[in-house]
């Protein structure tokens, strides 16, 4: 009786062990190329009558008993009415399908991102191709315009434009000119500008409904700026401005638009503040000067102690004796930079007639 129980326990343990091994093999699924003639699970030859099935994902072949499907379901898969609408996955692929879906989604996102990046790269390349040949030409063109604008500013530095100054309606140009001379003389006299303009010109086409602007040329900039600074004194909406170039007028228009945008946020923002932002100079960092060194009592005492050391204050009686290599006589060092040899002539210490021989008192090879 005990032998039978032992045999039953061993058989049940073998069955449990086989079930666990099957579960582990299902989790650790191998996607390598398989032998199409062998069942992946039982390793037996597949029957030639067709009682086998292939996994749709890993292409592994299984016999029908190892696949775990019923004979009815197997016949349903093979039926013509199915028309490929029903597919079968092995246990390992069933567990891997959620991960495969995530990978496929990531691959799709990467592909879309790569396509978008390629479109942007192609667009940038096309822009570089179009800009490349003309970049240097555009730079030179802008530089020429800047130079011409600076020359034009220099030419107009003494020019003033006067707006809303009444214009005569007579037909004679001489009478209109004399009329403008009288008005301009009165205008300049009201602000005490005594310089006589060298040129007066009305700008634009004559109209009977409005007065054309007047361009006035002075001999110097002082008269021009004196007239401009007293613009608030004039009446009848008369205004004076410098004769700006085309680039300056375009810049002023952009600055006015910027001031209008800023005033939506800050009503106190002015044209002057914008100019300060655009033309302000960078702040200079000042390095503080180091205070001069003073002779403190401590420094004076240390200097005196250095001067009073024995090696710096050698008396002639205590001076060391220096022997010459080419003479039996000795000389004494008196604390100076020279010595007195046998011939009674002084020579600098360490400099003699020896030239690398090691025999003279000079710089020899030791």
Q: Please, which residues bridge with residue 161 across strands?
A: 215, 241
| End position of a domain, from candidates 156, 171, 196 | 156
Give the predicted TM-score (pTM) of the model.
0.42
Query: Does the residue 19 lie in any domain?
Result: no
Are 163 and 234 within one domain?
A: yes
Q: pLDDT 10s digit of each residue in the chain, 366 long?
A: 444 444 544 555 565 456 545 544 544 555 555 567 888 888 888 877 778 888 888 888 888 888 888 888 888 777 766 666 777 888 888 888 788 788 888 898 998 889 899 999 988 888 777 766 666 777 777 888 889 999 999 999 999 999 999 999 888 889 999 999 999 998 898 888 888 899 999 999 988 888 999 999 999 999 999 999 988 888 778 899 999 999 999 999 999 999 999 999 998 998 888 888 887 765 555 666 666 655 555 554 554 555 555 444 444 444 444 444 444 444 444 544 444 444 444 444 444 444 444 444 443 333
Are 54 and 124 within one domain?
A: no
Number of domains in the chain: 3
Task: Assess contact for 220 and 195: CB atoms under 8 A.
Answer: yes
Query: In this structure, what token pair is assigned to residue 270?
Result: 């002015």
**Residues whose CB is less than 8 angstroms from the CB of residue 168 and which lie 6 or more positions away in sequence, other chains included:** 175, 176, 179, 180
Query: Does the residue 76 lie in any domain?
Result: yes
Rounded to a whole number of angstroms, the distance between the first and last alpha carbons of the chain is: 112
Task: Assess contact for 352 and 342: CB atoms under 8 A.
Answer: no
Are 80 and 146 within one domain?
A: no
Are 85 and 149 within one domain?
A: no
Query: Does the residue 18 lie in any domain?
Result: no
DSSP, residue by residue, 184-238: HHHHHHHTT--PPPSEEEE-S---SSSPPPEEEE-SSHHHHHHHHHTGGG--TT-
Are 176 and 235 within one domain?
A: yes
| End position of a domain, from candidates 135, 156, 177 | 156
CATH code assigned at 80: 3.30.40.10
Are 122 and 151 within one domain?
A: yes
Are 166 and 238 within one domain?
A: yes
**Residues whose CB is less than 8 angstroms from the CB of residue 51 and which lie 6 or more positions away in sequence, other chains included:** 63, 64, 74
Are 32 and 84 within one domain?
A: yes
Are 209 and 232 within one domain?
A: yes
Query: Does the residue 134 lie in any domain?
Result: yes
Q: How many CB atoms lie within 10 A of CB 193?
A: 19
CATH code assigned at 215: 3.30.70.330
- Residue 235, sorted as left (phi over 0), alpha (psi -120 to 50) or beta, turns out to be beta
| End position of a domain, from candidates 192, 213, 243 | 243
Query: Does the residue 77 lie in any domain?
Result: yes
Are 43 and 114 within one domain?
A: no
Pairing outcome for strands 61-63 and 330-332: unpaired
Are 83 and 32 within one domain?
A: yes
The residue range of the domain holding 107 is 96-156
Query: Does the residue 261 lie in any domain?
Result: no
Q: How many CB atoms lie within 10 A of CB 255?
A: 14
Instruction: Give the SS3 label for residue 159.
Output: strand
């Amino acid at each position: 009786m005990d032998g039978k129980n032992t045999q039953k326990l061993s058989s049940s343990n073998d069955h449990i062990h086989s079930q666990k091994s099957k579960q582990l093999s299902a989790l650790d699924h191998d996607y390598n190329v398989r032998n199409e003639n062998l069942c992946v699970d039982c390793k037996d030859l597949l029957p030639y009558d067709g009682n086998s099935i292939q996994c749709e994902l890993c292409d592994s072949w299984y016999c029908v008993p190892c696949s775990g499907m019923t004979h009815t379901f197997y016949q349903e898969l093979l039926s013509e009415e199915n028309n490929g609408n029903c597919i079968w996955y092995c246990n390992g692929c069933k567990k891997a399908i959620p991960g495969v879906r995530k990978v496929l989604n990531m691959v799709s996102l990467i592909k879309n991102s790569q396509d978008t990046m390629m479109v942007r790269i192609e667009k940038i390349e096309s822009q570089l191709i179009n800009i490349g040949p003309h970049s240097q030409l555009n730079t030179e063109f802008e530089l020429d315009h800047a130079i011409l604008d600076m020359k034009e500013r220099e030419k107009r530095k003494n020019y003033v434009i006067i707006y809303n100054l009444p214009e005569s309606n007579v037909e004679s140009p001489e009478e209109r000119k004399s009329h403008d001379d009288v008005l301009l003389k009165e205008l300049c006299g009201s602000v005490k500008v005594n310089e006589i303009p060298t040129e007066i010109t009305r700008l634009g086409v004559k109209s009977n409904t409005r007065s054309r602007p007047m361009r006035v040329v002075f001999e110097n900039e002082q008269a021009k700026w004196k007239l401009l600074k007293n613009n608030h004194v004039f009446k009848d909406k008369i205004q004076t401005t410098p004769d700006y170039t085309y680039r300056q007028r375009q810049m002023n228009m952009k600055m006015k638009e910027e001031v209008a945008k800023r005033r939506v946020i800050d009503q106190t923002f002015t044209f002057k503040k914008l100019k300060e932002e655009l033309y302000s100079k960078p702040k200079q960092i000042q390095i503080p000067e180091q205070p001069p060194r003073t002779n403190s009592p401590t420094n004076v005492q240390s200097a005196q102690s250095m001067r009073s050391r024995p090696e710096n204050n050698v008396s002639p009686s205590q001076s060391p004796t220096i022997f010459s290599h080419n003479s039996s006589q000795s000389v004494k060092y008196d604390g100076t930079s020279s010595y007195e040899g046998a011939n009674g002539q002084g020579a600098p210490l360490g400099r003699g007639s020896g030239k690398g021989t090691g025999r003279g008192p000079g710089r020899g090879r030791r």
